[in-house]
Amino acid sequence: MKKYLIREIAFNALCKIILDQGYSNLILKNLLRDENISQLDKNLITEITYGTLKYKYTIDLILKDYIKINKTNKKVLIILEMSLFQLKYLDKVPDYAVINESVEIAKKIDKFSGAFVNAVLRNYLRKKEEFNINKLNDIEKLCYEYSYPEEFVKLIKYQYDENTNLILKSLNEIQKVTLRINNLKIDPPKLLEMLKACGIEYENSKIFDKCIIVKGSFNVEKMEIYKEGFVSVQNESSMLAAEILDAKEGEQILDLCAAPGGKSCYLAESLNDKIHITSCDIHEHRIKLIENNCKRLGIKSIETKILDGTIVESSFLNKFNRILVDVPCSGFGVIKKKPEIKYRKIDFDKLIDVQKRILKNASLYLKNGGTIIYSSCTLNKLENENVIKWFLENNKEFSLEKIKIGKIPKIMYNTTDIGITILPYENLDGFYICKIRKYEV
């Protein structure tokens, strides 16, 4: 495939993500389904798309020396951003090739855009050493070095202090695919033999025996081991939330915000499908994801229900032994997967209100003596510890449970024992997990 066509696919992906507020993982998944695109080309498209999103803040900071960003055509700006990413952060393609191919894409917008892109990029190459980082204060330097908006860096600095650099750096790293082995269908040793036969390199998880981390770039969903239901893609942080629930065979379990069903399926596999799990989501199409996963994995113990977690479901009252509440959140812990999260505007008051309502409703569905796991894939303590503090202050029949998971690097136990925070270290997602129990009566 011609290089400019590769870059045009990346450009189209970025337009859908930046201008239409799409999710990078879903956009790329759809665009890269074309069998005519080689794996090498898919890798480059992915690298340009994610790299541009990852370093967009720094790139825009540099571009401000050359253009008036707010007055530049939004699609032309995206061409400049993806071009500057390649010129500054990649060394695979000569500078002239990046410029020529970017100009070709810009020409399709209007007759002036090609010349404009050409002039800006050549001007950058002439003056790229002139950017003076010393004009920036300490926070601005962190923003420039790791490419995050100032509000985000200030939040992380305020809440995590000495771990700020680790968090900012880790969230920019490329994440490897983590596979959970389905013991209902295959023994781990046999699965590992299949991977070796396919020439796939992997490393063992340091946390779970039935979990491996694979190396290299490929589409797991097209592999036979995935189609046959031998494995699922799930990060270890998410698996920990389900593990800490400590569910037992025969219990009634509720997964209140379940889609696409990773935690529910992990529980079903771990308990040999001898449990009853009700997995809920507000959207019908996401319920289908859970059902499709269950069918693929051979799981019978999960029933699904379309449910708005913020509205009380009377048939659930006092019904469940244990409940998973993985609330909708800002997603700051999964920026590795979705770098566009850095730049999305979030109404925290509205979001936190939703989280509180979902947790409150979950508490109504719990039997006496039962436990709730409240979790999120964000690092923002306003959505995590503060929500739990609010809940405990207003629901005296609940108490915190101590979480014991052994020694895992870069897991923070909150100083006030309000749950644990998993930092996005190495291949882990940033995650928060808290366990609360309802008193026996």
Annotated active-site positions, please?
Answer: 377
Decide if 411 contacts 421 (C-beta within 8 A): yes
Q: Which residues touch 200 (CB under 8 Å, ≥6 apart)?
A: 214, 215, 216, 218
Other C-beta atoms lying within 10 Å of the C-beta of residue 284: 9
Evaluated on CA atoms 148, 151, 157, 163, the torsion sign reads negative
Decide if 302 contacts 261 (C-beta within 8 A): yes
Q: Which residues touch 237 (CB under 8 Å, ≥6 apart)?
A: 333, 377, 422, 428, 429, 430, 431
Decide if 18 contacts 76 (C-beta within 8 A): no
Q: Which residues touch 173 (CB under 8 Å, ≥6 apart)?
A: 336
Decide if 133 contacts 143 (C-beta within 8 A): no
CA-CA distance, 422 to 406, in Å (whole number)?
13
CA-CA distance, 56 to 51, in Å (whole number)?
8
Closest to 263 in 3D by CA, of 282, 278, 284: 278
Q: Which helix (H) or strand (E) holds 63?
A: helix 56-63
Angle (CA) 247-325-426 rounded to 5° is 85
What is the residue type of 109?
I
CA–CA distances in Å: residue 114 to residues 101, 102, 209, 285, 425? 10, 8, 54, 41, 42
CA-CA distance, 14 to 26, in Å (whole number)?
12
Token reading at 8: 């045009």
CA-CA distance, 44 to 7, in Å (whole number)?
8
